[in-house]
Amino acid sequence: MTKTLPITKAREDLTSLVENVSRKLDEYIITVNGSPAAVLISAAEYESWKETNEILSNPTLMKGIRQGEKEVSEGKVQDWEDVRKELGWNV
């Protein structure tokens, strides 16, 4: 859940805010003079956003994703068990 709070309140409660974003995955928008200035999110969420941004900014990866989505929509898929057999992964 995203909550908005002024920087003075964030400063007072920083320890508990960090615990909340870490444990509960809360998100906080920190305002200065009533305007959004920063966001406090968990490190895991931040890393996920960075990875997503890297993928979205890579034309080669995006082309591959679009091609894969097109092939799935056209029914060009294989059953996982068949792929495992083809690869010799008879687990």
Per-domain boundaries in the chain: 2-41, 45-76
Nearest Cα residue to 2 out of 47, 48, 50, 42: 42
How far apart, in whole angstroms, are the C-alpha atoms of residue 33 and residue 82? 60
Each residue of 30-76: pLDDT tens digit? 999 999 999 999 999 999 999 999 999 999 999 999 999 999 999 99
Each residue of 74-83: pLDDT tens digit? 999 999 998 9
The whole-number pLDDT of residue 91 equals 63
- Among 3.10.150.10, 3.40.50.700, 3.40.1620.10, 3.40.1050.10, what is the CATH number of 2-41? 3.40.1620.10
User: What type of residue sits at position 17?
Assistant: L
